[in-house]
Amino acid sequence: MRGDPVRGEKPRMTKVVILGGGVAGMSAAHELAERGLDVEVHEMRAIAGGKARSIWVPGSGTGGRHDLPGEHGFRFFPGFYRHLPDTMRRIPFPGNVNGVADNLVQATRFQIARDHGDDPVLVARFPRSLDEWYEAVRAILEARLGIPPREAIFFAIRILELLTSCDERRLGELEKVAWWDFTQAARMSLPYRTYLVIGLTRSLVAMRAEEGSTRTVGTILIQLLLDLLEPEGTLDRLLSGPTSEVWLEPWRAHLASLGVAYHTEHEVVGIDVAGGGISSVTIEKSDGTTFTTTGDYYVSCLPVERMVALLTPAMIALDPGLDLLRRLQTEWMNGIQFFLADDVPLVHGHTIYADSPWALTSISQAQFWRRSLSGYGDGTIRGVLSVDVSDWETPGILFHKPAKELATKDEVKDEVWAQVLRSFSPEVASRLSGSMRSWFLDDSIVWPNPNTVENLEPLLVNTIDSWRDRPESKTRIPNLFLASDYVRTHTDLATMEAANEAARRATNHVLDAIASPGPRCGVWPLEEPACFVPFKVVDQWRYRQGRPNLFHRCG
């Protein structure tokens, strides 16, 4: 509460205006509204959730059925996520004890699909039975990845070096080293580069190994490995239905019950400064009309490319650090869905297409969904193969061009489908080909002019030494806070988890600004095994002495 109320009137609530209604914006609105603040959200899209939203295929539903569920890309919830599941447990969902968090389904396998070869299936969680132990060991022995034993040992030692490196070394040294160089990929075999260097970075963090920071790639890889090795952990969780149905729309309804005013088709087109702070923001509605709105505090949850476009000289004068946002880089990682007449569940989890030039990954979704797909489209669809394309700059196998140089959506579809089919046996490829009835490419991929493709929703990537260019959630503008995946967080990767963590940080800063006595949001660091703490203490001493990590010269 703030201000001195007139006798007989209620005290005026602190008003917070949130710019952007994706995962970060909804997370910030949730935390602030739970603590009694007046919250107003402005989202550009017609559907809540930003990149996480479902994208309903226009005109595909007939006979009273819902349109087919497309998406920007499939949603992936690793076991190390802690902030986002905590929020999800507080979003009510009919029949669920733990809210929408109970709509997360554990994947048990992942598959490495290879061109015209055997496709090893590996476990995606710590084995929980004798049969799973047998399957896990057999899969490793039969995978035949072709990585020379000496190189595999070298890679393991590199992971050990990361685990024993102190935080100072990670930030001061490894942040400035490319994952490609740290793993010495240039001198290693093709299988080593394919599976351990290029494949991991392109498929999991959507960046080139030559550009990705070792601190970021290595830290996330460690978390995924720990998820796999934790007896009660899980590497991979997926939603039990279309994202908007089983998560985002229930979330928006819950925000409304908390008093949040969530506006769609409201694009932020201007941020005004006066008196040493933000005075108002300008909003453009879908009909082209504009208006201004004001608040006591403002939380920008916009992606970096949109925030940069809104920066003004007046804002940079108040906080020169905001100008560094222009240095941050984005890449393309977008999805395409293939709708199948017969469900072809390739594996109970992710498929990584190791030999695909476009770094494809996919999920066969129907096996995880509680609701039958017969309720969507024309009623004949039984399966959805959702494919993420992580490399848009390497020539493909069909048109021999990068995705960015193709002229139409149909060409992108044909190229992706060709790479998918080539990665399986003739029998599986035939089943997929015979079942495919329609498809949908993320609608943020557009052709404003012939032969010119644009991506309206690119993905931030953590390139070498980019940490210094990324801001804290609290800016030098006293009533402006940042909550987006470019904000410095423990998660340190452009993910829904990072967006949620950034929103918690912004919420805490707002609460500090109004001297609220209420509880602050939980913010938790990534956890690593305690057994490595003594090594990190030693490494801190060595780093300050200018000496390398104990394991640096091993292997």
Phi, psi for residue 7 in degrees, rounded to 5? -55, 130
For residue 195, the model assigns a pLDDT of: 84
Q: Is the pTM of this model over 0.85?
A: yes
Q: What pLDDT sits at residue 225? A: 84
- pLDDT for 145 equals 76
In whole angstroms, how far apart are CA 296 and each of 18, 37, 277, 351, 462?
11, 11, 10, 47, 32
The encoded tokens of residue 406 equal 């193709």
Helices (H), 186-297: 190-192, 199-205, 214-229, 243, 249-257
Q: What is d(CA 227, CA 248) in angstroms, rounded to the nearest whole number?
A: 26
Q: Which amino acid is at 23?
A: V
Rounded to whole angstroms, what are the CA distances from 183 to 66, 188, 314, 552?
Answer: 48, 9, 44, 11
d(CA 80, CA 223): 6
Quick check: 452 and 305 in contact, CB under 8 A?
A: no
Cite the residue boundaries of each domain of the chain with CATH code 3.30.9: 65-108+236-243+333-455
Of 5, 27, 35, 15, nearest to 278 (Cα)?
Answer: 15
Contact 207, 220 (CB under 8 A): no
Please tell me the predicted confidence (pLDDT) of residue 130.
64
**At the topology level of CATH, where does 65-108+236-243+333-455 sit?**
D-Amino Acid Oxidase; Chain A, domain 2 (3.30.9)
Instruction: Report the C-alpha gap between 465 and 476 in whole angstroms.
Output: 23
* 327 three-state secondary structure: helix
Secondary structure (DSSP) of 27-65: HHHHHHHHTT-EEEEE-SSSSTBGGGSEEE-TT---TTP
Q: Vertex 110, ends 108 and 113: CA angle to 5°? A: 155
Question: Residue 6: what pLDDT?
Answer: 31
Name the percent of the chain in helix, strand, coil, to the closest 5: 35, 20, 40
Helices (H) and strands (E) in the chain, counts: 17, 23
Residue 391 to residue 360: CA distance in whole angstroms:
8
Nearest to 450 by CA among 411, 493, 396, 491: 411
Q: Comparing C-alpha atoms, which of 272, 266, 284, 267 is closest to residue 311?
A: 272
- Contact at 8 Å (CB) between 51 and 25? no
Pairwise CA distance, residues 350 & 143, whole Å: 16
Determine the Cα–Cα distance for residues 490 and 4; give it in Å rounded to an integer.
Answer: 39
HSE toward the beta carbon, residue 444, CA cutoff 13 A: 21
pLDDT recorded at residue 116: 63
pLDDT of the residue at 197:
87
Which residues, other chains included, contact 265 with Cβ-Cβ below 8 Å and sequence gap of 6+?
Answer: 43, 44, 45, 46, 285, 286
CA atoms of 335 and 457, how far apart (whole Å): 11
Q: What is the pLDDT of residue 147?
A: 85
CB-based contact 344:420 (threshold 8 Å): no
Start and end residues for every CATH 3.50.50.60 domain found in the chain: 15-44+265-330+459-513
Residues in the chain: 555
Residue whose token pair is 């070498």: 464
d(CA 238, CA 350): 10
Task: Please give the Cα distance from 136 to 143 (Å, whole number).
Answer: 11
Task: Name the token pair of 521.
Answer: 């949001």
CATH of domain 15-44+265-330+459-513: 3.50.50.60
User: Is the Cβ–Cβ distance between 438 and 188 less than 8 Å?
Assistant: no
- Where are the alpha helices (H) located in 100-185, listed in sequence order? 130-142, 149-163, 167-172, 179-182
User: Which DSSP symbol is given to 185?
Assistant: G
Q: Which residues of the chain have pLDDT under 50?
A: 1-11
